[in-house]
Chains A and B, each alone.
Chain A
Amino acid sequence: MRKKLIELLVNGERREVAVKGNDTLLELLREKLGLVGTKEACGVGECGACTVLKDGKPVLSCLTLAADAAGSDINTIEGLAQGDELDPIQDAFIRHGAVQCGFCTPGMILTAKELLAREKNPGKTQIRQAISGNLCRCTGYVKIVEAVQAAGRGDGHE
């Protein structure tokens, strides 16, 4: 299949990638750019593990065609920390024990990132609704909700 050169911003960095028509954004990130923090679990858009931010909105990268991401601004889990300084949500996840096996964590954090960008101090119900498209088998979601709430309150760094 013929490849096409596309240009996009990934974690603030301009990248040029040759993609096939049927490449997904997930494949672009993991296989072409080596950003394996984005996880593939179901691969058919049911679990939310592959969530990344595309122009600030959470999208399922397994269902997004790489070609459709041309010209867009993509944020993955690798882009959240500033040097050694973790993002407040990442920090809150650690402090609240919100990570067990960790496979849902990147998607959860990026979904939460978008929620906190539009909602300063969300309540538990709002958080539960926002992350309801991200499946977690380990935690029962309680600690994840607590971590997002703490990050929203600004007490991630306690």
Chain B
Amino acid sequence: VSFADAINLFQRTHGGSPLVAKGSYNSPDPLSPTYSFGAYVCEVAVDLRTGEIEILKFTLAHDCGQPLNPMSVEGQIEGCIGMGLGYAISENLRFDGGQTLNPSFLGYGVPTANQMPPIEIIHVVSDDPHGPFGAKETGEGSLDPTTPAVINAVYNATGVRIKDLPVTPEKILKGLKEKKK
């Protein structure tokens, strides 16, 4: 019997009421049933005269358990790279006494298609006992390491450690000047 037929049969014999099932699950770990892992590498070029940053490439490996739909997994990761890059080098919500100073896409700095670097994705396939069909997650876990990868690459290239986001050419130049002193 097909799923649709089963629902149909149930509804016809139960006065049209919906078929409801209840279940419960206790995570073995109080924080999360499972954890995803990843390694993210960002390559940057920094112009030491202007402080301008060019993102050259992202290479990353993400363990999302069993990728149920590898294309969707890649799509989620690529989206995270876009968001993380914006967080790292362009997006900035500015306030003045509770007033948003840049309440527009133009002033905020969401990355555009021509600002995205090439992305190389390595799927780390594992079988998670807690997730559905061995899967874990890929939606948000890929966002977290993206920004630190950019900041570390900038540090590696210039020796300047940026501690407030976004990294701007001005902050890099200031850091370079302080380093010289």
Q: B-contacting residues of A (Cβ < 8 Å)? A: 42, 44, 46-47, 96-97, 100, 125, 127-129, 131-145
Q: Given the known inter-chain contacts A140-B119, A142-B119, please indicate yes or no for A134 contacting B113, CB distance below 8 A.
A: yes
CB of B126 within 8 A of chain A?
Answer: no
A97: chain B residues at CB < 8 Å are 69, 71-72, 74-75
Q: Given the known inter-chain contacts A137-B83, A139-B82, please indicate yes or no for A132 contacting B105, CB distance below 8 A.
A: no
A127–B112 alpha-carbon span in the complex (Å): 12
Given A132-B114, A136-B113; 8 other pairs, CB 8 A cutoff: A42-B104, A97-B72, A100-B79, A129-B113, A129-B114, A137-B79, A141-B78, A141-B116
**Is there an interface contact between A135 and B105, defined as CB atoms closer than 8 Å?**
yes
**Is there an interface contact between A145 and B106, defined as CB atoms closer than 8 Å?**
no
A133: chain B residues at CB < 8 Å are 112
Q: A-contacting residues of B (Cβ < 8 Å)? A: 69, 71-72, 74-75, 77-83, 104-106, 110, 112-116, 119
**Is there an interface contact between A139 and B114, defined as CB atoms closer than 8 Å?**
no
| Cβ-neighbour of B75 out of A44, A47, A139 (below 8 A) | A139
State the majority secondary structure of interface residues on B.
helix
**Is there an interface contact between A137 and B78, defined as CB atoms closer than 8 Å?**
no
CB proximity of A113 to chain B, nearest CB, Å: 16
**Is there an interface contact between B71 and A140, defined as CB atoms closer than 8 Å?**
no
CB proximity of B69 to chain A, nearest CB, Å: 8
Q: Given the known inter-chain contacts A42-B105, A46-B106, please indicate yes or no for A142 contacting B74, CB distance below 8 A.
A: yes
Q: Given the known inter-chain contacts A139-B78, A142-B78, please indicate yes or no for A128 contacting B116, CB distance below 8 A.
A: yes
A125: chain B residues at CB < 8 Å are 114
Specify which of A97, A125, A140, A144 lies most central, judged by the most chain B CB atoms within 10 Å of its CB. Answer: A140
| Cβ-neighbour of A135 out of B79, B112, B116 (below 8 A) | B112
A129: chain B residues at CB < 8 Å are 113-114
B82: chain A residues at CB < 8 Å are 136-137, 139-141
CB proximity of B106 to chain A, nearest CB, Å: 5
Q: Given the known inter-chain contacts A128-B116, A132-B112, please indicate yes or no for A140 contacting B105, CB distance below 8 A.
A: no
Closest 9 CB pairs of A and B: A140-B78, A140-B82, A46-B105, A142-B78, A141-B113, A97-B71, A132-B114, A128-B114, A128-B113
B69: chain A residues at CB < 8 Å are 97
